[in-house]
Structure 1
């Protein structure tokens, strides 16, 4: 296969040169300008689109096994491919929970037929109940890349301490959903001026920050690696920033909706449940802090927390709706508009957050664009205007605040597992 007129963006490329890439048997065979099409060779002209090593979303919910009415591994991977992701790491709040090796291996096996690499994240505790440590070593041997009870925090500090000690021996991170439940519930949105005006119970930022502070202290004490999931508050970012300066093994991630939208949208959108997620949308000051954290390197990764829900689950009163929104298919567009177009980050810095850092945190092989390397690639543009309407949603669910919104920049294809997937709009 010959992929023509692409502009590589990687650790060795700045997106300034236009080249052709020849792939044979899933390996990059040749890179050069004006390569000649060989007899019997398939070709595709990307008309100057950028190409980077394949992106990875290290925080999504595939829902299978147990909640296939929301999403399946097949539909979730289709959404990932449409969003430009060649790899995902899926959270363990399934049914049964991903707390044993057989569930880890089931997920990997089910994903083999998709063009996306799926890396399961195992539970920290058995059945995510927060009581006793799950079989971490066995799950890692089966393919788990990290451990988390996401959806709920590891609430017991002694359990979290033991988890960090075990995971440090295995060389993998604990990804914690940072929430002090006593402080946060029954909150339905960010606690503040807007929640007060709307009369809704709120979740204060301190509920997130106290758990981040605890986990930083535990990581420092144990020498373990804690990864702060879906960070959303300015003070939380500053806690991570200071801990990194002190040499604590802490990393973190942010979702596009948390550096794009504020809690004002809940009132503006007349209580649309597509704006209900957890952690909740915060204030403009928090949004600004997310961007600042991305710029100065405090925030390592852009992820989505892709959380599909069936239509009937979201079409209820705001306080009864489950938390979570889709994210895989719009992540690049939002990142492009809020970070690249505003000159907060350049292309290489964005690729670092979308490709290199998540793989590094999860101890996965670094991808390269060079002759002899495995062809694992994402093709994207920055200027195409398009509308994210229902007919273009590949996910099984439709719960996104960006439906019918005009977006800029799109992932146009991926190449992985020897397969080129073109993302044509319907």
Structure 2
């Protein structure tokens, strides 16, 4: 984002529509590009669209590129941003014709990720995604640089023939470092499970309100803005769900057509979802029905194969922004894409009790047992320990101590063993 006192970068947005594509879908995609540009700190000063099959040289038709060049000359933007993925040759040809730096949607997403990456892990992930994007284009870039002797093309600096191998070596080093970080995270995750914490992850399309819901549930201030990709690094906090402590994690949002190289780069972040006991799939219920359907499909495509044995609660957020009739229509129409639906408002707290009940129903099952033992100082210490480690449904102090508790196997077995020493 822009530093205080700095003027915003200016951009022209461009999109090529497929012939026979639906107008509604095209507008949704264009609106998403507007939101991405805004999230990256660009002021949008112009837009251009064309419906045709892609041109190999310019992606758009030659005449439309010349029209774009005239718009650039008149408005003088800092960048031209395409919704469509562009080849290196197309970026070069458009940049040459328009005399303006040109990028596509995925380079724009990388820009956003780079500005939001604040930790060593997230910076490594962003760099890996950038290198994954660059690698297949490296030879084409080198060829163009040699032809025109333009060392500053695309801001990538001077290339040598060894560049592609250098990229591969750097990717190997980053992956090894991320694997080490991931092993540490898995050790921490195993430790949390051994301590009785179940893991709950928030997932969903970017800007669905996950961070706002996270903040409201755990009563903390994690950044949440009406902007795409405010969350890159997973944030985890403790949450009490009907007497059981769970760890709730906010994660990076999904987006349409997220390429495999970007998913691969953020695999360790997505693992926070894939390794959870329960996933809260958050949708913005105030959006049009077809838009919600499209976004749910994107979420399922991104994570469904990994979540066959994981409990999913579909959270219809922002219920306070639509009527009860509209809400019921959306939940009914999307039933096949929305397992265990619950309506909430992260802003007002409506529906939180129902949400926590749904989470509780899907948590790994604990055992329930009643223990009886004589009154003593050691017995009172045991009662205090049981209150810390499990859920106590009742305790009776007549004729000794009788306690009805629910806990994981490890705690139940230890409690039984300790009771034997008191009898």
The normalised TM-score by structure 2 is: 0.27
The normalised TM-score by structure 1 is: 0.27
